[in-house]
Amino acid sequence: MTRATVGKASKTTTQSWLIQKRLQLGDAESQKFLTNGYLGKKKLEDYNEEYHAGRISFGMSSFNLSNAIMGSGILGLSYAMANTGIIFFIVLLLSVAILSLYSVHLLLKISKEGGSLIYEKLGEKAFGWPGKCGVFISVTMQNIGAMSSYLFIIKYELPEVIRAFMKLENSGEWYLNGNYLVILVTVLVILPLSLLKTLGYLGYTSGFSLTCMVFFVSVVIFKKSQIPCPLPIMDHGVENWTTTNNTVLMHLVMLPNESLGSGVNFMMDNTAGHLPGLEEPKDTSPKSSVEYEAHSDNSDKCRPKYFVFNSRTAYAIPILAFAFVCHPEVLPIYSELKDRSRKRMQNISNISITGMLIMYLLAALFGYLTFYGEVEDELLHTYTKVYTFDTLLLSVRLAVLVAVTLTVPLVLFPIRSSISALLFPRRPFSWIRHFLVAVVILAFNNLLVIFVPTIKDIFGFIGASSATMLIFILPGAFYLRLVEKEPLRSPQKIGALIFLIVGIIFMIVSMTLIVMDWIYNPPSSRHH
C-alpha cells in the first residue's frame, strides 16, 4: 500500500469520524443536511462549507433578534394609531405580528429543505440568479432604510439633547450641527462595532439597547398622567415662557413663513403643520406685551377614536410592516445558535416577536392617549410641544439615542453578508473586504441622511416593497418551490400560496395608495 493510499484512507476515516460525531450531537438540522432523505445527496465539501457549530446562547440570540425587530418603528406607532384608530390599529398590529411569526416558520423550514442557512443561497436554489438578486435587493433596501431611520434620530435628537443639557442656544457651534454629529457617532461608535466578525458579540449591546427602549416605554406610560389635554399652548409671537405643573413650557420660535413650529421636522412630513389648538391671530394690531392663551376647550380633540380613515392611513400599514421586519437577521442568528435546531430558533422568534408586540402596543397606546390627534410622526419630538427642559424626557431621548446607535451594527451585518454572497460567493473571509464593505455602507447611509430632508415617502415605499417581499412574498414563493415532498394541495402549500397572494395584494394596494398620495399631495406642496 503506497503512502498516498494510506493518506487517502486516513483522511476518509477522519471525515467519517467527524460526521458520526456531529450526528451524535443530536443537531436535527445537521442531520438533515447530511442524510439523503428528500434533499437528495449532499456533497461532503458542501456540507463542510456550510456547517459550523453555533456558540451563541438562547438568551443572547433572543436579545439580538428582539433588537433587530425593535428600532425606530416604535417612535412612529402612535402616529400610526392616530391615523387608524385604536381598534383598527390593534387588529393590524396583531395581524402583522402573527404573519411575521408564520413567515419566520416558513423561512426556517425552507432553510432545512434547501440545505442552507444563507438567504441568498436559498433564493438561488429556488429561482436561480433572479431569486438570489431578489433577496439581495430586498435585504439591502430594507436594512438601508432601517439604518437611515436610526441615523436620522441621531442627526435630529442628539443636537437637541446636547443643547438642553448644556443650556445652550443654537449659535452655530459645530457640535450642535446634526450632520457633523452623525458622522462623528458613525466613526467613533458604529464603525468599530460593525467590524466584529460575528453577530454573537453584539448580544451584550443588544441587551443594553432593549433596556433603553423599556425605559422609553415606561416613561411614555408615566407621562400620560402628567400632561393635560387639551395641551396648554402659547399665542403668536412668543419670546417668553410660562409654566404648568412646575414644568417649563416649550419656547416657540417664529419660522420664516410666519407660522409657529416646534423645531426641526424629524424624518417625516407633519401634514397637520400647526401646533394643537393654534389658530391664525384675529387681531393683527401691534402688541407691546405677550399674551398667552390656553388651548380651546375642544372635547372632541381629547376623545380617543377607534376607527380612522384618512390620506395618512395609507402609511400606517407599511409602518407596521417595517416595524416587524427581522427576517434578514433570522438566518444569521440561527446559524450562530448554540445547540441549533429549528424548534429552538422558532421559540426564540416567538419570544422576541411577542415581547416587541407588547412594547409596541404600550408605546403606541399611551403615546396616542397623551396627544391624541396632535401626535407627530416621531413621538419623542411631540413632547417638545410641552417641555423645553425635562430631566426625565431628556434621559429618555438619550436612552433612545444609545439604543438606535447600538442597533445600526446589527442591521448592517445582513447587508454585508448579502453583498459578500452576491459578489464574492466563493472567496474566503477577508478582514480588508470586511472593513471596506462596512465603510462603504455607512458612508452611503450618512450621505443619504445628510442630503435627504425627509424620509417619510422613502419609509412608505420601503415598507410597501422590501418589507412586503421579506415578510410575505419571498418566504411563500421559496416554500412552494423548495418543499417538494408536500403535494400542491396540502394545507402547508395552500397556506404558503395564500400567504404569497396576500403579500402581492398588500404590495399593490399600499404602493397604489402611496403613489396617489404623492400625486394629490406632493412633498413640495406639504406644509413643513
Per-residue pLDDT tens digits for 330-343: 988 998 898 889 99
* Sequence-distant contacts of 273-278: CB under 8 A, at least 24 apart: 273/526, 273/527, 273/528, 275/233, 275/374, 275/385, 276/230, 276/231, 276/233, 276/301, 276/371, 276/374, 276/385, 277/230, 277/231, 277/233, 277/301, 278/233
pLDDT digits (tens, 9 = 90+) for 490-514: 888 999 999 999 889 888 887 887 7
Is residue 117 in a domain?
Answer: yes
Tell me which residue range forms the domain holding 218.
Answer: 52-233+296-525
Q: What is the spatial distance between Cα 461 and Cα 455, in angstroms, rounded to a whole number?
A: 10
Nearest to 352 by CA among 149, 104, 92, 117: 104
pLDDT digits (tens, 9 = 90+) for 312-324: 777 777 778 777 8
- % of the chain residues with pLDDT over 90: 23
Is residue 246 in a domain?
Answer: no
Query: Per the structure block, which three cell numbers stand in for 527?
Result: 406644509
Nearest 10 degrees: Cα torsion 346, 349, 351, 352: 170
- % of the chain residues with pLDDT over 70: 72
Is residue 248 in a domain?
Answer: no
Is residue 336 in a domain?
Answer: yes
Rg, C-alpha atoms of the chain: 26
CATH of the domain at 334: 1.20.1740.10
Whole-structure pTM value: 0.72
In 10 A of CB 16, how many CB atoms? 11
Q: Which residues are 244's β-sheet partners? A: 247
Q: What is the spatial distance between Cα 142 and Cα 90, in angstroms, rounded to a whole number?
A: 24
Q: How many helices (H) and strands (E) does the chain have?
A: 21, 4
Is residue 262 in a domain?
Answer: no
Is residue 160 left, alpha or beta, with left meaning phi > 0 and alpha meaning psi from -120 to 50?
alpha
pLDDT digits (tens, 9 = 90+) for 26-58: 444 434 433 333 333 343 333 334 456 678 889
Is residue 306 in a domain?
Answer: yes
Distances (CA, A) of 487 to 88, 194, 459, 483, 484: 37, 44, 38, 9, 7
Is residue 264 in a domain?
Answer: no
In the three-class reduction of DSSP (H, G, I as helix; E, B as strand; rest coil), residue 337 is classed as strand
Query: Per the structure block, which three cell numbers stand in for 179?
Result: 450632520
Domain count, the chain: 1
Is residue 38 in a domain?
Answer: no
